Chains A and B, each alone.
Chain A
């Protein structure tokens, strides 16, 4: 079946540094990838939608200069949290779809802790 690999699974960084999270579709071409943020015991909040070769579309309230998304190929999307602060600590999850048959595949998530 479709597999999405998300890396790293956990990362701890110092306040003010940047962190890059990768999301790869291993056995299919993802026309669209989504990035979600999940707060403790809360639902997933959509941050942005990215299509290969296009600029990401950010949801209202999400700072595009802080959360840089690149979708350079049909199998790779990256989320870079720039100048991270403790309030950016969260669980980030990516999802990829081929756009057919409502097949959404999720990565295993990245636990970001900013200290």
Chain B
């Protein structure tokens, strides 16, 4: 079956530090890949997505590249801010229609200190 593996958190960084959150996946075919962010007490917000190999998703300074050869979709940001503190989820859905449920990783909590 499909699965997503994320690095364990929490990740604690100082403001303006470089961020990498690793994500690898197992799936048949070519799934679509997503990063979602969850702020305390809230639902999930789409951060970025990539629907085919070598695509780069980007938003709000965050980037992730769909690497088929390494089955990875690592999240990066060059300079984090305190407001980026949240839980980040990597997710995938099968390649077919986008009507199937998302499979989530375990989430990585990011704490950015001033």
Contacts and interface: CB of A to CB of B under 8 A. Distances in A.
Contacts of B99: 31-32, 97, 99
Contacts, number: 58
Contacts of B42: 108-109
Interface stretch (B18-26, B43-51, B62-70): B43-51
A81 B42 CA distance: 21
B32 A106 contact: no
A69 B53 CA distance: 36
B24 to A, nearest CB: 15
B107 A108 contact: no
Interface residues of A, number: 24
A66 to B, nearest CB: 20
Interface in B26-50: 32, 34, 36, 41-46, 49
B102 A95 contact: yes
A46 interface: yes
A31 B105 CA distance: 25
Interface of A: 6, 31-32, 34, 41-44, 46, 49, 93, 95, 97, 99-104, 106-109, 111
Interface of B: 32, 34, 36, 41-46, 49, 51, 89, 93, 97-107, 109
9 contacts: A34-B101, A43-B106, A46-B103, A49-B100, A99-B97, A101-B98, A102-B49, A107-B43, A109-B42
